[in-house]
Amino acid sequence: MSITVILDDIRSTYNVGAIARTLDAVGGGRIICAGITPYPYLGPGDDRSPVVISANNKAIQKTALGADATVDFAHAADVDAALELLPEGTQTFALEQDDRSIELFDLKHAAKDVALLLGSETRGITEETLERCDAIIEIPQYGEKESLNVSVAAGIALYHLRRAQP
C-alpha cells in the first residue's frame, strides 16, 4: 500500500510541512512537489541556492515535526512531470470542486497504490490535469465558505483514502 501526494504550485512551506506530518500519520509515503512548491533538501544534485534550501528546510521542519525525515520527497518541474513519476497502476485522485467530482465519503474502494493531487490554493487544478486523473473527489462543504486550507483538506482526504485502500 502506498500513497503519493502531488503538490502543484502550493506556495506555503508550512502547508508542505503539515501535509508531510499528516502523510506520516497515515502510514507514510511520498510527496512530489511540483512547480513552485517549496521542498526540503533532496541531497546531492539539489542545485538550489544554499540560502533557499536552508529557508525551506527550516520552515518545513517547523510544521512537519520530523515527518520531513520519514516521508520521501521529490521535485518535478510541473504537474505533468510529477504524474509521470508515478508507478504504473497508481490510481490518481484530484481533490477539486467540480461538476464531475464525487463526494470523498462516497468513495468506498481505492487501489493499493494511490496518488492525491492537490492544486494551487488560488487557481486549483487545470482542466487538462483533471482529465489525466482517474477521479475527481471533493470534500462536502456545508458552511458559507467554499474551501478549506490545503493542509486541512489533505488531512481529511488522506485519512479517507487510507481507509478505502485494501
Query: pLDDT band for position 122 (50/70/90)?
Result: confident
Quick check: 146 pLDDT over 90?
no
Total-model pTM: 0.96
- Classify domain 2-164 at the CATH topology level: Alpha/beta knot (3.40.1280)
Contacts of 145 (CB under 8 A, 6+ apart): none
List the strands of the sheet with 72-76, edge to edge. Answer: 72-76, 30-34, 2-8, 113-118, 91-95, 135-138, 102-103
Per-domain boundaries in the chain: 2-164
Which residue in 70, 53, 48, 31 sits closest to 151, CA to CA? Answer: 31
- Express each pLDDT in 26-53 by its tens digit: 998 999 999 999 999 999 999 999 999 9
